[in-house]
Amino acid sequence: MSEVLEPRLRDRVIALPGRGGEMAAYEMGPADRPIDLVFSHANGFNARTYRSLLAPLADRWRVLMIDMRGHGRSRLPTETEGRTSWSDLADDLMAALAAEDLTNVILSGHSMGGCASLIAAA
């Protein structure tokens, strides 16, 4: 597929001090502008799943797609026993925003990622 229809992803690794590891991410869109949108995926998926869905935004926006804890290439410890909320994922998202000094971005997501984005925004 042509890069015009599906832009090339740039690999990223975001160190999350105090969160136990690193978050994998991908970005696409103009590298010379600030991040416009941070996208978080659904449970059982990873950031690359949404590449073609988000590609149309990349002609004007810089998009960061993150691999949440326990998914994709992220290297953050995962505790599934006793899990009762998505708050730890929202905390990871906020830590990634802080680590990358991202402010005034749009948070977006699908299912689990949408919940984590809403919690983080609140």
Task: Give domain limits for the chain.
Answer: 10-121
**CB–CB of 48/26 below 8 Å?**
yes
Q: Given 3.30.300.20, 3.40.50.1820, 3.40.50.720, 3.40.605.10, which CATH number is that of 10-121?
A: 3.40.50.1820
112-121 and 87-99 helices, crossing angle to 10°? 60
pLDDT in tens, 16-75: 989 999 999 999 999 999 999 999 999 999 999 999 999 999 999 999 999 999 999 999
Give percent of the chain with pLDDT exceeding 90.
80
Strand partners, 13: 24
If pLDDT is split at 50, 70 and 90, which confidence band does 2 have? very low
